[in-house]
Copies of this chain bind each other. A is one copy, B any other.
Amino acid sequence: MDRIVECVPNFSEGRRVNVVDAIVGAMMLPGVKILDREMDADHNRSVITLAGEPAAIEQAAFRGIATAARLIDLDMHRGQHPRIGASDVVPFVPLRGVTMDDCVAMARRLGERVARELDIPVYLYERAATHPERRDLAHIRRGEYETLKQEIATNPDRAPDFGPRRVGKAGATVIGARPFLIAFNVNLATSELQIAKEIASVIREKGGGLESVKANGFWLREKNIAQVSMNLTDFTITGMLTAFNAVKAEADKRGVQVLESELIGLVPIEALTQVAAQALRLPGLSASQVVEMKIFGESVV
């Protein structure tokens, strides 16, 4: 596989295993690997991670959306997590041999098809957004399904990018393209939540800190420690070691030690070669020097 796209669809079903089984089953196609599957009953939501050849992934995403529309009724859905649709949000992520523009094109093509074949309103978001404010998922999802249902026909700001100005029981779907997101947390040797919150507010982009970093402070009850929790929304701009060092420097200023960090979910190999390149002053390091990548990639002969 020389060209690989990741897709991380979020479905509004986190309780009925057979429904999630059916959705995942519909997405299992040749050329598609299911990398992860998470169900959350409180959120009543599931997050599936798939990767593979672009055309196969696009088709799998369509089949997942169609199956969710058939089996999930938003009028009956309750859960803590905000949502506007049975297939709530469907991002494409370029992984290998594929550009962001390719993923934007996939998002638009899929959006048009979902609207046409399934009669579902589609909003394009992040890099695929057609309006600046729609880059932000929270903006599109404001008021959730219940508000959208009332406003979609009359509020011009609610006009979908594709499909009807009315929602059925499957709600609406947000489709887009974005870089790989790394969820990376740093645990501090203090129980003071305030310190983690302060550090988060200084290092995040919104606070004038590191570009492409979202951050928040949390208190971990079981460990009784404070944590700086980060989303690195484009690690090619700010990577893990830069983010870690920034948290450490701010912790040092406050006389607090860093205990350890934790990675939630997966990282692309380039995010690791980037860390090693920085730590070892090894600017030429590339994923093609990793023996497993050579083995699983093509032969050099």
* A contacts, CB < 8 Å to B: 1, 4, 6, 24, 28, 33-37, 51-52, 95-96, 180, 240-241, 244, 258-263, 265-269, 272-273, 275-276, 278-285, 287, 289-296, 299-301
The answer to whether B291 and A51 have CB atoms under 8 Å apart is: yes
The answer to whether B96 and A35 have CB atoms under 8 Å apart is: no
The answer to whether A259 and B279 have CB atoms under 8 Å apart is: no
What 14 additional pairs, Cβ within 8 angstroms, besides A266-B291, A292-B293?
A6-B291, A36-B294, A37-B300, A51-B294, A180-B291, A241-B279, A260-B283, A261-B281, A261-B282, A266-B294, A269-B290, A272-B290, A275-B275, A292-B296
The answer to whether B294 and A281 have CB atoms under 8 Å apart is: no
A281 to B184, CA, bound (A): 12
The answer to whether B33 and A244 have CB atoms under 8 Å apart is: no
Known: A36-B300, A261-B280, A280-B244. A291 touches B275 (CB 8 A): no
Smallest CB-CB separation from A274: which chain B residue?
A: B276
Q: Which residues of B contact A279 (CB under 8 A)?
A: 241, 244, 275-276, 278-279
A280 to B235, CA, bound (A): 15
The answer to whether A33 and B294 have CB atoms under 8 Å apart is: yes
The answer to whether B268 and A35 have CB atoms under 8 Å apart is: no
A241 to B259, CA, bound (A): 19
A299 to B295, CA, bound (A): 18
The answer to whether A262 and B290 have CB atoms under 8 Å apart is: no
Q: Which residues of B contact A180 (CB under 8 A)?
A: 291
Smallest CB-CB separation from A289: which chain B residue?
A: B266
Q: Which residues of B contact A4 (CB under 8 A)?
A: 295
Q: Which residues of B contact A275 (CB under 8 A)?
A: 275-276, 279-280
CB distance from A227 to the nearest CB of B (A): 13
The answer to whether A301 and B28 have CB atoms under 8 Å apart is: yes
A301 to B21, CA, bound (A): 10
The answer to whether B283 and A269 have CB atoms under 8 Å apart is: no
A272 to B287, CA, bound (A): 10
